[in-house]
Chains A and B, each alone.
Chain A
Amino acid sequence: SSSQVDKDEL
């Protein structure tokens, strides 16, 4: 799942 850390997209 996309955890907080790899939310690097705008």
Chain B
Amino acid sequence: MNVFRLTGDIAHLLAIILLLMKIWKTRSCAGVSGKSQMMFALVFTTRYLDLITNFISLYNTTMKMIFIASSYGTLYLMFLKFRATYDSNHDTFRMEFLVVPVAGLSFLVNHDFSPLEILWTFSIYLESVAILPQLFMISKTGEAETITSHYLFALGSYRALYILNWVYRFYFEGFFDLIAVVAGCVQTVLYCDFFYLYITKVWKGKKLTLPA
């Protein structure tokens, strides 16, 4: 464990808490993409299948359980409890255009052709593009609530911090996972436009609006 990965995990946890707080406090999931949240739940489900079989540490097990529980909790809030506030008209990104190519790629490019490894690879590839429906939704509505922009900033920062973690692990532990690094870079690059808007607007106290 290193400081980059720890702050990355904390940023990830913070993002999930911010989203739950937003939905719970405003009793609304307006502006949140249910499709992205469904893909995040799929990411955690396919990545943490070894939760039972492969004990690594208390931290690892606890965080995995929190991520799985909170992702399904978010789906419950969005599609059951506050379903009436789900903005399906703006959440129109075609998930199959992401899930199908990612599934195909995970069969073609992986470290080991075993079920667990292919599912892990699928989850890594899927996570790198899972935010696209959310970013697409914001581009359609042209704006995002401030707390939703904080959620996205924390979520985007987590994988950027993981890139620093991989640099650290490469130089100090000789650890290198090409699949995780490439997918992590793609994932982080997708946030660049949002990061620019967030830093130039939200940090100046303005609402996050996209140029018309």
Binding site for B on A (CB under 8 A): 1-4, 6-10
Contact = CB atoms under 8 A, between A and B. Distances in A.
B63 A2 contact: no
A2 B111 contact: yes
A4 B56 CA distance: 11
Name the prevailing secondary structure of the B interface residues.
helix
Nearest to B44: A10
Nearest to B116: A4
A3 to B, nearest CB: 7
Interface of B: 5, 9, 12, 50, 54, 56-57, 60, 63-64, 67, 111-112, 116-117, 120, 162, 165, 175, 177, 179-180
A10 to B, nearest CB: 5
Contacts of A8: 56-57, 60
B116 A9 contact: no
Contact of B9 (A2, A7, A10): A10
Contacts of A3: 111-112
B116 to A, nearest CB: 7
A10 B64 contact: yes
7 contacts: A1-B112, A4-B54, A7-B54, A7-B120, A8-B56, A10-B12, A10-B63
